[in-house]
Amino acid sequence: MKNEPHSANTFRLVVTGGGTGGHTYPALTAIRALQNRLAAEGRALDVLWIGTAEGLEARVARAEGIAFATVATGKIRRSHNPLKMMSAANVRDMARVPIGVAQARSLVAAFRPDVVLATGGYVAVPTGLAARMCRRPLVLHEQTVRLGLANRKLASSATRIAVSSEATLPLLPPAVRSAAVVTGNPIRPEVLAGHPDKAVQALGLHGFDRRLPTLYVTGGAQGSQQINGVVQDALPWLLERANVIHQCGPDNVEGLRQYAATLPAVSAGRYYLTGFMGPELPDILALADVVVSRSGAGTLAELTALGKPAVLIPLASSAGSEQAHNARHLEEAGAAIALLGDVTAGQLRDAVGPILTDPARREEMAQRARAHGRPDAADRLVAVILSAASG
């Protein structure tokens, strides 16, 4: 995906967005899906990713061989207090935005993309505005139920607004609803291709009792102190009812390992602890009957595509309380249980117990989750991108 010469046989895409995996990985998945679609038609894809040097998107683009450029950005630190919104840091960063817009305009004008795809994060704003200035089609993709701040700023400039949920449509400003289309949130194809027996072999889960359901606990790549603490307090009770795979974050392994050493041998054999989950994750998800996790948009896209019942413990500090909103949305659909605020081990037991012990309830929640899943989201987003390019 290096820079190709300009030709009618090459589709040119500018991607902007990042800062977190929630904005970065859907963009990467869309790039891969678009490349595959074009290759099947005998066409090439030329991509320029515009982001920040310190963001996750810089590392991802470099690893994928995608051309990458940076622009100045301003991060708005949100507050319910209008006076705090005018903090020195916010004023300083807002002054950087016009610089970033000028830089992005120069990049977009030189690259001449067929489409600009913006997936959110404050870095998307300058490039999205530059797309309008350069009269290039702008496609927004929103991962969460409610439009993020960057996409709200860009909505009136967008050719298409791809959203992940039907529930987003009535929340959009009336003036931009006609540009909206529900695609879902792109997930990596390999997530859908896991096999439970591979997880058992790869992780050596020979102490697991396959007659019991398997619970997968994750707090994300870095782990979650909140989830780890609640699960540790409930662990003896959980291991009477389930096998437990616990991805706790690299910094939390030692303390939990010491605690696990105090468990009876039979229970300890049904507990697998790891700091980080790598390429075996699709197989772990295939093995899991129930998941305890945060409720970021990417996580929920994967869980619903796979039809996994979940107990969701939202990250309270997520921007705009998006995780809590996401969790409540799935709970209302009957696909998950949301635990908000200061969660206790007792609350976790009350939430997960009936799901672990009642296969019929698990299956009903799985069906409701699948009803919200869109495993073909990447292909749907590619169709929106190509449609925007053709006018």
pLDDT digits (tens, 9 = 90+) for 46-74: 999 999 999 999 999 999 999 999 999 86
So what's the pLDDT on residue 327?
Answer: 94
User: Helix (H, G, I), strand (E, B), or coil: what is residue 60?
Assistant: helix
| pLDDT attached to residue 295 | 94
From the candidate CATH numbers 3.40.30.10, 3.60.15.10, 3.40.50.2000, 1.10.8.640, the one assigned to the domain spanning 10-186+376-390: 3.40.50.2000
CA distance 74 to 125: 9
3-state secondary structure of 369: helix
Location of structure tokens 């996790």: 293
Tens of pLDDT, residue by residue over 69-83, are 999 986 654 455 555
Higher pLDDT among residues 84 and 106, named by residue:
106
Q: By the 8 A CB rule, do 109 and 5 touch?
A: no
Dump pLDDT digits (tens) for 214-263: 999 999 877 889 999 999 999 999 999 999 999 999 989 999 999 999 99
> What is the secondary structure of 151-218 as a DSSP string?
HHHHGGG-SEEEES-GGGGGGS-GGGGGGEEE------GGGGG--HHHHHHHHT-TT--TTS-EEEEE
* 50 three-class SS: strand
The domain 189-372 is placed in CATH, from the list 1.10.3720.10, 3.40.640.10, 3.20.20.140, 3.40.50.2000, at 3.40.50.2000
pLDDT at 2 over 80: no
What ranges do the domains of the chain cover? Answer: 10-186+376-390, 189-372
Average pLDDT, the chain: 92
Q: How far is Cα 287 from Cα 270, in angstroms, rounded to an integer?
A: 14
What confidence score (pLDDT) does residue 373 get? Answer: 95
